[in-house]
Structure 1
Amino acid sequence: METINVPNREEVSENNQAIFDNLNSKLGFVPNLYATFAHSETALGDYLTFQNRKSSLKAKEREVINLVVSQVNECDYCLAAHTALGKMNGFSDEEILDIRTGEANFDTKIGALANFVKDITINRSKPSEDAVARLFEAGYTKENLIDINMVIGDKIVSNFIHGSGQFAVDFPAAAKLESTLA
């Protein structure tokens, strides 16, 4: 049930129209999630700035975070979008499903990251000592820890926007996991 409509270009402010035009030129369309942010005069621009900030994390690591947080929050929209982005960043379908479990058994460092993200998200900002130790043992730094939390925050915002808006997913659906994380 859609609770927030997805506005088209004519229904948003002039500032947001310019952002729509930029997204159209870069992506070929305006994703429904981004369009929905445009109900606010400033949220879309603020969100895109936040999402595109410089980070100590690689694009692949950011996708691990996006996939795990979206799985914990059961956000079909973000799972679909980040499955597509995960593939663009070199993950196979099987690896993406493994990442979403919070384990990522195919790679020790990615596994430690996925486990930490699952743990901190499920435990509402309070990771276990084991998850933190495993993250640092895998080679992540304090700077990475801050950037990991920034990406978690970014993804929680978009998960909540879709969760409260229930607008259509405009990416190919992500495969379902056989079990849930929480």
Structure 2
Amino acid sequence: MKTQFSVPTREQVAPANQAIFDNLQKAIGFVPNLYATIAYSDNGLGRFIAYQNAKTSLTNKEKEAVNLVVSQVNECVYCQSAHLVLGKMNGFTDEQLLDIRKGKSENAKLNALVKLAADITKNRGKADGDLVDDFFAQGYTNENLVDTILLISDKTAMNYLHNLTQVPVDFPLAPAL
């Protein structure tokens, strides 16, 4: 097995990916290493970013909570690190982010979402019926459930990519729990 993956540079990727690199550079000031790694696939980066940026019924805070708890369950330090930064940008405090990493929230609605997302991830798509019931009791809908599962799949793909490639983390490193 290849034990180390290098992060491709702009010059090493397909022209379509070079344009995406340029857009990322303009939008956020750098090309995250994990996105650059997806660019080994001539079509993967554009396809993945479109999937990641698709409209959803979840709020940005809810999305970040799911992204963070899924990354925690999947033991992906890269995505934990990235989503701690993004979580703060979306209004979470350090304490709230720590709680989410531990699979809980003081907010009852967010707690139901975080617990269900963690359970779905741990059990590969199966979930405790009580957690599903609580999710719906907190006001979530079938649309929210579908969007949560799609978000879990997006984040799981990124988690798996980093867990396999171990490319350098280019965000402030998430502390171990």
Q: Which band: TM-score by shorter chain? A: over 0.9
Q: Which residue of 2 aligns with 1:115?
A: 115
- The answer on 1:5 being equivalent to 2:6 is yes
What is the CA–CA distance in structure 2 between the aligned matches of 1:15 and 1:115, rounded to whole Å? 38
Aligned-residue offset at 1:103: 1.3
Q: What amino acid is aligned across from residue 140 of structure 2 in structure 1? A: Y
Q: Percent identity?
A: 53
Give matches, 1:5-24, under 5 Å: 5-24=6-25
Equivalent residue number for residue 176 of structure 1: 176
Shift of 1:3: 2.3
TM-score (norm 2): 0.97
**1-structure distance, mates of 2:154, 2:90:** 19
CA root-mean-square deviation: 1.0
CA deviations over 1:83-132 (Å, ceiling 9, x no partner) = 0000000000110010111111x200010000001111111110010110
Displacement of 1:4 in angstroms is 1.7
Partners in 2 of 1:150 and 1:2 — Cα distance? 30
Partner of 1:46: 47
Within the alignment, does 1:152 sit opposite 2:152 as a pair? yes
Distance 2:51 2:90 in 1: 20
1:161 aligns to what?
161
Structure 1 residue 65, shift from structure 2 partner: 0.5
Q: Which runs of 5+ in 1 are unaligned?
A: 178-182
The answer as to 2:79 corresponding to 1:78 is yes
Q: What is the CA-CA distance between 1:5 and the residue it aligns to?
A: 1.0
Matched, 1:87 2:85: no
Which stretches in structure 2 are left out of the alignment for 5+ residues?
Answer: none
Structure 1 consecutive aligned stretches of length 4 or more whose deviation exceeds 4 Å: none
Inter-partner Cα distance in structure 1 for 2:6 and 2:141 = 41
Structure 1 length as normaliser, TM-score? 0.95
Cα offsets for 1:30-83 (capped at 9, x unmatched): 000100000000110011000000000000000010001000000000000000
Between the aligned partners of 2:13 and 2:113, the Cα distance in structure 1 is: 38
Q: Quote the residue 1:142 is aligned against.
A: 142
- Name the count of aligned residue pairs: 176
